[in-house]
Structures are given as C-alpha cells and as structure tokens.
C-alpha cells in the first residue's frame, strides 16, 4: 500500500478520490460526535464545561499524530531521499502546528472555569507548548534556507531530533507531579471514563484524525502541484 | 586520535580567542543577572526565591550566544570541506567541536553560575549543586546547540534561527536541572534530577553528533 503510493502518479490518482472521501468521513464522525457530545449529561463536578473535552482532547491526539506523521515522512525523505515524502512532511507541519494551537487554546478555555486560571504551568500543558514550538522551529528552519532540497533535508533532521521529544512529553507527566488530570483513557484495566462521555470522545477523535488525514493529503497534493508548476516554469524560462 | 586532539586544540584556540571567547558569554551572563533585580525589585525574599531558577535560565541563554560561529566559520572559509575530506569521521569532528565549545564557554559559565545565584540571594549551600548542574547542563546545551548550529548552516539569519530551533529542545535539561536545584532548596530528594540531567547530557553527546554530521553533509553537498 505505502510502497505503491510512493509513486507520485499513483498517489495523485489515489488521493484525488481518497482525500474528499476522508473529508466526508471526517464530517460524518464530527457531526455524530458533536451531537452525542452536546446530548451528553452534565458532569457532576464540571457541569457543562466538560463538553470542552470533546474538542480539546482530540485536538491534542491529532497534534501528536501529526508530529508522528511528520517524523515518519521526514525519515523516508531523509533515508530514501523520496521527494513525495518530503512534500508530505512539508504539508504536515503547518497542520500539526494548527492542531497544537487548537489544543492549547481549548485547553486554556477549559482551564479558566476548572482551575480558575487561563494557563497553568504543569507538565502536560508545557510539553504541548513545546510541541508547538517544535512545529514552529521546523517551519522556520524550512523557510530560512533558500535551496529547497537542502531546506527539506535539514528540516527532516530537525524533525527526527524532535521526535525524541514525544517520549519526553509522556515522561515529563510522570516526573512532574502536577495539577493536570492523570491518564484516564489509555491505561491498564480499561477506561475510567463513563460511556456517555467516552463514545462521543472516541467519535470526535476519529473525526479529528480523519480530518487531519484529509487535509494532509490535500496539502500534499497542493505541494506536488506547486513543485510541478515550478518545474514547468523553470523549463519554460530556459526555452 | 592525534588528529582529533589537534582539532580540539584548534577549536579551543578559536573559541577562546576569536570573537570574545568566554569573556563575551560570561559578560552577557553577568549583564542578564544584573538586570534581574532591576526588573523584579531589590526585595531580598523575592530575589532569593527566584535566584537559582533565573541563574539557570540565563545560563541556557548565554550558552546560545557563540553557537552561530561554531560551524558557520569553517563552512564559509572552506575549512569544513577540508575536514570532511580527512579520514576522521565527521561525527567525531562534530563531537570534538562541541566539547571544545563546552570547554571554552560552558565551563567558565558554570563557574559563574553559582556566583550569580548566590549574589542574587540563593543560599550558599546550593552553590555546589548549581555548579554540578551547570557543568552537566552546559554539556547538554553545547551538544544540542551544536545540532541547531549545524542545521542552520547556509540559512539566512542564522543566529535567531539557532535560538528558535534549539530552545524548545533545551526544555528537558532545563526541567531536570531546575527540578534538582528546587528540590535541594526545599530539602527534598534531589539526586534524581541531577542524574536525569547527566543522562540527558550523555544521550545528547551520543546522538547529537550523528545529526550534526548529517546536517553538515547536507549543507556541503
């Protein structure tokens, strides 16, 4: 599957249909998740603000998934010198930055009624902020080098270096005992969250990830078109 | 080995003499430490509470200063190409460059760090731990910073770019060192923070040369 799609022509033919389909699936999941999320009962402690969870937690998942995709694409771009992987990495970074920003903003909006503060310096918030800064650094490095091939490879090295940061995010949660709620979904012994909240959360998570996939594919297509038109323009200039 | 030793002496001489050397970084560090009480007010209690942390953060900033010339200088005048042609692996060259950077900048800064912290009002009993954290952290800062410097080769506005690239990667050592100093000041177990900091520095020393060599080859090609 992945090796077949590594061919740019096959990827363009596939993604022409796949990207809108993924987008439609994302819209369906998001609609269902929002409906169930708004219909869910109020939490006995958090009241109606618990609904922010349905837009906040999936954004953080999507942000981490985006970084994993960026790291994976960078690996293929760096090791196999694959142009399409480089285009995919370039396309993933601004999306990841967007999802990370969304997680930070919704988290801040949730923190105000819950903790009484817009921002709390605890481990998880800080590490998501660092994730955001890593995306920013990736974009800045990529745009600061004029030669596009060199820029892509330098940025890919940075992405792989930053990949070390993802386990540190997890680790810092344990090391820095903090205000933030501990892990309640992925843990041994099953989720400790009630089903009325879990189902919309999972639906929203699927919706966010599908939306990321659709946007990523669409942006990769745009990047491929940009490079093709640039190549055509360069060829026309030499004629 | 002899080649690497010669390279180390060369790098050390360049870092020590060229561009102000340790004086520049320590001067910057002293200036930042002087501005802190001016910004926070001279109240000793408030200063004492923030002193170790501020001394620690200023250290991370000061160690960024001279990174821009670490690879750029040799890249511009062609010395990096000559070094790359030699049989010595580029990874070892990058590691030696970072070690020289640490000797010329990190070590003087780590001597200045306890002084600055105590001058700001930290308890003198903290001084040995701050020295140890600054020495180990400085090693991590040098290797991670060297990675940023190598990645920024051939870019516009190298200095600012290095800071943006490196600072997010410096969070773990800053957390570990700050945590150790905080815990010591609060009479809590502090060893784990220092050990994690040393572990991070060693891991950076092992992994960063690979990234630096790859970045240098990319810039040269």
Lowest mean pLDDT among A22-31, A89-98, B51-60, B85-94: B51-60
Residue A219: its pLDDT value, please? 94
Distance CA B179, CA A89 (A): 35
Query: Could you state, in order of their start, the residue ranges of all structural domains in chain A?
Result: 48-185+193-230
**What range defines the domain where residue B48 resides?**
2-220
Cβ separation of B179 and A147 shorter than 8 Å? no
| Interchain contact, B164 vs A147, CB within 8 Å | no
What Å distances lie between residue A93 and A63, A101, B106, CA to CA? Answer: 10, 12, 33
**DSSP labels, A101-157:** HHHHHHHHHHHHHHHSSS----HHHHHHHHHHHHHHHHHHHHHH-SSHHHHHHHHHH
CA distance B144 to B162: 10
pLDDT tens column, B181-201: 888 888 888 888 889 889 999
How high is the pLDDT of residue A1? 55
pLDDT at A170: 59
Residue A195's pLDDT is what? 75
Q: Regarding predicted confidence, which is higher, A121 or B110?
A: B110
Name the residue in chain B with its Cα closest to that of A168: B172
The terminus-to-terminus CA distance of chain A in angstroms comes to 39
pTM of the predicted model, to two decimals?
Answer: 0.87
Whole-number pLDDT of residue A99: 95
Q: What is the pLDDT of residue B210?
A: 93
pLDDT of residue A147: 87
Interface of B with A (CB under 8 A): 147, 151-157, 161, 164-165, 167-169, 171-172, 175, 179, 196, 207-208, 211, 214-215, 218-219, 221
pLDDT number for residue B20: 62
CA distance A119 to A108: 6
pLDDT score recorded for residue A123: 67
Q: Determine the pLDDT at residue B212.
A: 93
| pLDDT value for A176 | 58
Show residues of chain B in contact with A150, CB under 8 Å: 154, 218-219, 221
Strand partners for A43: A47
pLDDT in tens, A181-218: 445 555 555 556 777 778 888 899 999 999 999 999 99
What confidence category does residue A178 fall into, taking pLDDT thresholds of 50, 70 and 90?
Answer: very low
A137 part of contact set with chain B, CB < 8 Å: yes
Instruction: Kindly state the DSSP code that residue A41 receives in the 8-state scheme.
Output: P
A116 vs B161, which has greater pLDDT?
A: B161
- Any CB–CB contact under 8 A between A147 and chain B? yes
Q: Provide the pLDDT for residue A92.
A: 94
Predicted confidence (pLDDT) at residue A157 exceeds the cutoff of 90: yes
- Cβ contact, residue pair B214, A157, below 8 Å: yes
Strand partners, A47: A43
- Inter-chain CB proximity B211 and A160 less than 8 Å: yes
* Residues of chain A neighbouring B219 (CB-CB closer than 8 A): 150, 154
Contact criterion met (CB < 8 Å) for A158 and B154: no
- Pick the residue with more confidence: A119 or B200? B200
pLDDT band at A168 (very low <50, low <70, confident <90, very high): low
Local structure of A47: helix, strand or coil: strand
Residue-level pLDDT at A179: 35
Q: What is the pLDDT of residue A167?
A: 81
Tell me the count of A-B CB pairs closer than 8 A: 73
Residues of B in contact with A78 (CB under 8 A): 214
**CB distance B169–A141 less than 8 Å?**
no
Query: pLDDT tens for residues A132-145?
Result: 999 999 999 999 98
Q: Which residues of chain B have pLDDT under 50?
A: none
Nearest Cα residue to A70 out of A39, A49, A91, A56: A91
Question: What is the structure's pLDDT at B99?
Answer: 92
Residues of A in contact with B167 (CB under 8 A): 133
The more confident residue out of B20 and A26 is A26
A86-108: average pLDDT? 93
Query: What tokens does B170 get?
Result: 């410096």
Residues A65/A66/A67/A71 CA torsion (nearest 10 deg):
100
Contact A130 B154 (CB under 8 A): no
| Of A38 and A102, the one with more pLDDT | A102
Of the segments A3-7, A20-24, B17-21, B60-64, which one has the largest average pLDDT value?
A20-24
Interface touch A154/B175, C-beta < 8 Å: no
Please tell me which residue of chain A has the smallest CA distance to B178.
A176
Total structural domains in chain B? 1
């Amino acid at each position: 599957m992945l090796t077949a799609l590594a061919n740019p022509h096959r990827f363009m033919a596939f993604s022409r249909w796949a990207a809108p389909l993924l987008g439609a699936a994302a819209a369906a999941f998001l609609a269902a998740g929002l409906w169930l999320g708004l219909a869910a009962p109020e939490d006995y402690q958090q009241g109606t603000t618990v609904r922010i969870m349905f837009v906040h937690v999936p954004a953080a998942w999507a942000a981490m998934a985006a970084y994993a995709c960026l790291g994976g694409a960078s690996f293929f771009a760096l090791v196999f010198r694959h142009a399409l992987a480089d285009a995919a990495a370039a396309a993933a970074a601004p999306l990841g930055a967007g999802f990370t920003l969304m997680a930070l903003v919704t988290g801040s909006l949730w923190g105000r009624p819950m903790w009484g503060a817009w921002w709390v310096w605890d481990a998880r918030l800080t590490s998501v902020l660092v994730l955001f800064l890593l995306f920013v650094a990736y974009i800045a490095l990529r745009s600061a080098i004029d030669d596009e091939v060199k820029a892509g490879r330098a940025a890919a090295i940075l992405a792989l270096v930053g990949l070390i940061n993802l386990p540190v995010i997890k680790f810092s949660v344990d090391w820095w005992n903090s205000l933030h709620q501990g892990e309640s979904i992925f843990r041994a012994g099953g989720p400790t969250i009630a089903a009325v909240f879990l189902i919309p959360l999972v639906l929203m998570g699927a919706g966010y990830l599908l939306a990321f996939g659709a946007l990523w594919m669409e942006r990769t297509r745009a990047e491929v078109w940009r490079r093709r038109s640039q190549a055509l323009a360069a060829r026309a200039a030499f004629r | 080995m002899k080649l690497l030793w010669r390279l180390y002496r060369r790098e050390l001489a360049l870092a020590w003499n060229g561009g102000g050397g340790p004086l520049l970084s320590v001067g910057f560090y002293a200036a930042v430490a002087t501005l802190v009480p001016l910004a926070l007010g001279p109240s000793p209690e408030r200063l004492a509470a923030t002193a170790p942390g501020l001394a620690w953060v200023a250290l991370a900033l000061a160690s960024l200063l001279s990174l821009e010339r670490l690879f750029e200088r040799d890249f511009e005048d062609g010395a990096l190409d000559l070094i790359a042609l030699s049989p010595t692996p580029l990874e070892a060259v990058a590691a030696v460059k970072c070690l020289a950077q640490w000797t010329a900048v990190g070590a003087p800064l780590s001597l200045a760090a306890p002084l600055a912290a105590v001058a700001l009002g930290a308890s003198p009993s903290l001084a040995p731990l701050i020295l140890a954290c600054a020495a180990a952290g400085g090693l991590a800062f040098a290797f991670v910073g060297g990675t940023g410097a190598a990645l920024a080769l051939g870019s516009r506005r190298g200095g600012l770019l290095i800071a943006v690239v490196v600072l997010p990667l410096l969070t773990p050592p800053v957390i570990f060192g700050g945590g150790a100093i905080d815990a010591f000041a609060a009479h809590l177990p502090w060893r784990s923070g220092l050990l994690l900091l040393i572990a991070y520095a060693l891991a950076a020393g092992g992994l960063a040369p690979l990234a630096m060599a790859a970045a240098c080859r990319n810039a040269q090609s």
